[in-house]
């Protein structure tokens, strides 16, 4: 009987002795070590996700039906989105949950101290803004914009609670942030995101954002996006003044 192909050692030999010799090579040992490391990292991420699932929802500020969880039949129109200081209790709760989720989902975890971290003051009017989304009084989302030039803002810290996703609230929050950028006189929105946040990438692409070369040194980013806003009669897609100054986008060092 022919040996199973996945047990046949490289080089074409067969038989138990050849298999044992093949499994003791440095290449096999290195492959086994990498596989073991991947399994260990995956189990650690699973354990963090399970701990998050079992986290006591009573820590959530505000009130909501069903012990603090969002009713799965809710409409995003029921949520209230309004400006709020990024230092408020609700905003800090959302940011804390956002950082916790990134730490669980990113391959290498997430440390805000290693990220390009905007000061909370940068979200303050009249040049920036921070929005909090509430459902039944409970904060379930947040996001902010901060200026990076006279024409452009950076969209940062956008997050929707896991049990409030899938109802269009993320798209509504993104639209609200873009509208605030227009009202403040900006003509382009820039953002970056991690490769593991595939749902965020889908939202941005379907909302008119296009991928561009890296424009900052964010260590957790793998994708950079921009969107030209329709503002004052200028059509979307026209190159903003801050991108038309002659310096390639990839060489711009924007403090975010």
Query: Under a CB-based contact definition with an 8 Å cutoff, are residues 212 and 249 in contact?
Result: yes
**Res 200 pLDDT > 60:** yes
Given pLDDT bands bounded at 50, 70 and 90, which one contains residue 64? Answer: very low
pLDDT at 231: 56
Mean pLDDT of 28-32: 64
101-153 pLDDT, tens per residue?
A: 999 999 999 998 888 877 899 999 999 999 999 999 999 999 999 999 999 99
CB-based contact 132:242 (threshold 8 Å): no
What pLDDT, on the 0 to 100 scale, is given for residue 75? 60
> Sorting pLDDT into bands at 50, 70 and 90, what band is 255?
very low
- Domain layout of the chain by residue ranges: 16-51, 55-251
Nearest residue to 137 via CA among 91, 82, 80, 95 = 80
Looking at the chain, the whole-number percentage of residues with pLDDT higher than 90 is 55
Residue 35 has pLDDT above 70, yes or no: no
Q: What is the pLDDT of residue 238?
A: 40
User: Are residues 227 and 209 in contact, defined by beta-carbon separation less than 8 angstroms?
Assistant: yes
Is a pLDDT exceeding 70 seen at residue 9?
Answer: no
Q: Is there a contact between 146 and 156 (Cβ–Cβ < 8 Å)?
A: yes
User: How confident is the prediction for the chain on average, in pLDDT?
Assistant: 78
Task: Write b or e for each residue in 101-131: b if 16 or more Cβ atoms lie within 10 A of its Cβ, otherwise e.
Answer: bbbbebeeebeeeebbebebebbbeeebbbb
Task: Return the SS3 of 3.
Answer: coil
Whether the model pTM is above 0.75: no
- 211 contact partners, CB below 8 Å, separation of at least 6: 205, 223, 224, 225
User: Residue 222: which pLDDT band, with cuts at 50, 70 and 90?
Assistant: very high
For range 21-50, the mean pLDDT: 66
Most confident segment among 19-33, 160-174, 242-256 = 160-174
CATH classification number, 55-251, choose in 3.60.20.10, 3.40.50.300, 2.60.120.10, 3.40.630.30: 3.40.630.30
């Amino acid at each position: 009987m022919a040996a199973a192909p996945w047990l046949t050692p490289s080089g074409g030999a067969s038989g138990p002795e050849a298999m044992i010799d093949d499994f003791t090579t440095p290449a096999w040992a290195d492959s086994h070590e990498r596989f073991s490391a991947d399994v260990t990292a995956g189990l650690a991420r699973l354990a963090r996700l399970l701990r998050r699932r079992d986290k006591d929802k009573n820590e959530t500020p505000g009130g909501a039906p069903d012990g603090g969880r969002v009713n799965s039949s809710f409409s995003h129109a029921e949520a209230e989105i309004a400006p709020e200081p990024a230092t408020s209790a609700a905003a800090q709760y959302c940011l804390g949950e956002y950082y916790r989720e990134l730490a669980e989902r990113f391959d290498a975890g997430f440390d805000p101290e290693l990220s390009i971290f905007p000061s909370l003051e940068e979200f303050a009017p009249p040049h920036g803004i921070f929005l909090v989304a509430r459902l039944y009084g409970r904060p379930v989302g947040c996001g902010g914009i901060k200026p990076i030039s006279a024409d452009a803002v950076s969209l940062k810290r956008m997050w929707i609670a896991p049990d409030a996703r899938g109802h269009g609230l993320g798209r509504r929050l993104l639209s609200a942030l873009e509208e605030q950028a227009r009202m403040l006189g900006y003509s382009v929105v820039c953002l970056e995101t991690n490769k593991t946040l595939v749902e965020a990438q889908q939202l941005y692409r379907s909302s008119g954002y296009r991928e561009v070369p890296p424009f900052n040194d964010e260590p957790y980013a793998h994708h950079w996006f921009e969107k030209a806003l329709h503002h004052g009669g200028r059509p979307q897609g026209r190159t903003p003044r801050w991108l038309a100054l002659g310096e390639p986008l990839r060489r711009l060092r924007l403090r975010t």
